[in-house]
Structure formats: C-alpha cells, structure tokens
Amino acid sequence: MRLELVTSAAVADYLTRSKGIIWPVGSNEQHGPVGLIGTDHLCSEAIARRMGEAHGVLVAPTLAVGQSHFHLGFPGTLALRPSTLMAVVADHLASLETTGFRRLYILNGHGGNVGPIRSAVAEYYSTRSLSGRHVPDGLIVRLRNWWDLPATDALRRQLYGAHEGFHATPSEIAITQAAFPDHIGDVSDTPAPPSHGRDDLMDHAGDNYAEAADFARRFPDGRVISHSGLARREHGDALLAAAVADLAADYAAFLASA
Ligand SMILES: [Zn+2]
C-alpha cells in the first residue's frame, strides 16, 4: 500500500490495525557508465513497494535525493547537504508520530545517507529527552541498508564476490534491470572498472574526506571497484525476491519488538 495512493480515512483505518510504516530512501547520483542515476532510490523503493503490496504494509513516498556531494563532478547528480537531509528526516519523524504512527522502518539504498539519518534520529530523541518531555509509547525507528539484509547480502556475495565493490555495484544494477527493463537492458559488454590504489579506496571508505572534483579525478568512470557489467536481469529477480523476504521478516521482528 502506497501512502500517497490512499485516502486519509484509509490511513486512519490502517492505524487501528498497525502503527508501522516503511520509508524507502536513497539518492539521485551518477552510477558509472551503465547505471541509472536513480539506482539507489529505485532499489530501496522497488523492494519496499513489493513487500508492502504482498503484506498490506503502508509505504511512505520515497526520499529520492540524499547526501551525494562527492558525485557532483558528474552531471545528473542532485545532492542534499547533511544538515538538509537531517531536517527532512526530522520532519518525517515528527509528522508520522503526530499522526499516530509508532514504528518507522527506514529502508536505505545509499551509504552516504547513513550518517545524517542516524544523527537526525539521535537529534530527535535528544531534543525530547533534554527538555524532560516524555512521550509515552513514542515513535521507534529502525534503519537498514537493503544490501545488509541477511539472505540478500549472502546472495550478492555469492554472485559477485570482490567484484561487488562499493559504487555502481552489480547487485544494484541487476535490481534495476529487473525492476526497470524498459530503461536498462543488457550490460554484459561493460568493461571491468579501473583498479585503484589503497589511498583512493581509503578515501572512499571514509577514512579521509574529499570534494567532488577529487572523487572524479580518482574514479574517472564513476565506479569504485564495482564490476557493473556482471549484472544480469535474472540476478536482479533473485536479489529482489531475497530482499523482499528479508524485509518482511525484519519488519515483522521490528513490530514485535519493545
Ligand atoms: Zn548505488
């Protein structure tokens, strides 16, 4: 069930049965020579919407733009600064809690979002706790990256091993092939990514921080050791099925907790 496609009365009725909702978040950023710009938000959205349809769970409108400043050396990238992303997350938390939701499951599709989202949630609870204002049975948040879900993680490692890499990964490219076949077809003639030195990879892993121009200089084709050309549509079908099942199990555990 997509929140934007039902009435407010239907949401009120849903809240008598469940206080939970899923929110797919991602980014809109370059994904190397063959990946769609929207790959990160399209993947989390596809997984969340399939799970929501199968299990009658509400899914909030996708947050399609995230913290992607390091990809601004490539056209098509849109980026929110961390403070903007934190403000957007905080207002979603407040809106959902005020209107009766008590469990928010954030399904993330972009590594750069994790820090700001965690900080936004911590800020939300800190503001309340520091003011001494207690909300009985208030909103509880769970944040998961889709690729960390257990069966999905095992499958992508089995399919691609070290070729999965860090950006424009074959697993995310395969999911977009399965979900958007009219927009991305066969990519098997894509060459392997350039190899990189340890310093470049440390920078991308977040031990050092760099501007967009530096990223574009170090990773000229936009990929970070990910062999996107290994992606196949049938892999995407299997990864989607694994992720939907993983999400259903983790969401049920989340609702049952606390
Ligand atoms: Zn991505």
In angstroms, what is the span from residue 220 Cα to ligand 1's centroid? 16
Q: Decide: pTM greater than 0.85.
A: yes
The tens digit of pLDDT for each residue in 80-126 reads 999 999 999 999 999 999 999 999 999 999 999 999 999 999 999 99
The tens digit of pLDDT for each residue in 154-210 reads 999 999 999 999 999 999 999 999 999 999 999 999 999 988 776 666 566 555 567
**pLDDT value at residue 133:** 86
Distances (CA, A) of 37 to 40, 45, 113, 185: 8, 14, 16, 15
Q: Distance (Å, rounded) from C-alpha 98 to C-alpha 94? A: 6
**pLDDT value at residue 207:** 52
In angstroms, what is the span from residue 122 Cα to ligand 1's centroid? 25
The tens digit of pLDDT for each residue in 202-258 reads 566 555 567 899 889 888 999 988 999 999 999 999 999 999 999 999 999 999 986
Burial label, 189 (beta-carbon count in 10 A; 0-12, 13-18, 19+) = exposed
Report which of 84, 108, 95 is spatially closest to residue 139, judged by C-alpha positions. Answer: 95
In angstroms, what is the span from residue 47 Cα to ligand 1's centroid? 14
**pLDDT value at residue 204:** 61
Report which of 90, 82, 51, 50 is spatially closest to residue 65, judged by C-alpha positions. Answer: 82
Task: Name residue, tokens 């009658």.
Answer: 56
Task: Categorize the per-residue pLDDT at 150 as very low, low, confident or very high, splitting at 50, 70 and 90.
Answer: very high
134: tokens are 């207690």
In angstroms, what is the span from residue 109 Cα to ligand 1's centroid? 7
In angstroms, what is the span from residue 20 Cα to ligand 1's centroid? 27
Q: Distance (Å, rounded) from C-alpha 186 to C-alpha 192? A: 15
Ion ligand 1: protein residues whose beta carbon lies under 5 Å: 39-40, 172
Torsion over CA: 69, 169, 117, 57 (sign): positive
**pLDDT value at residue 201:** 66
The tens digit of pLDDT for each residue in 32-68 reads 999 999 999 999 999 999 999 999 999 999 999 999 9
Burial label, 115 (beta-carbon count in 10 A; 0-12, 13-18, 19+) = middle
Distances (CA, A) of 19 to 57, 108, 154, 257, 258: 10, 20, 31, 13, 13
In angstroms, what is the span from residue 61 Cα to ligand 1's centroid? 19
Q: Distance (Å, rounded) from C-alpha 214 to C-alpha 205? A: 14
In angstroms, what is the span from residue 39 Cα to ligand 1's centroid? 6
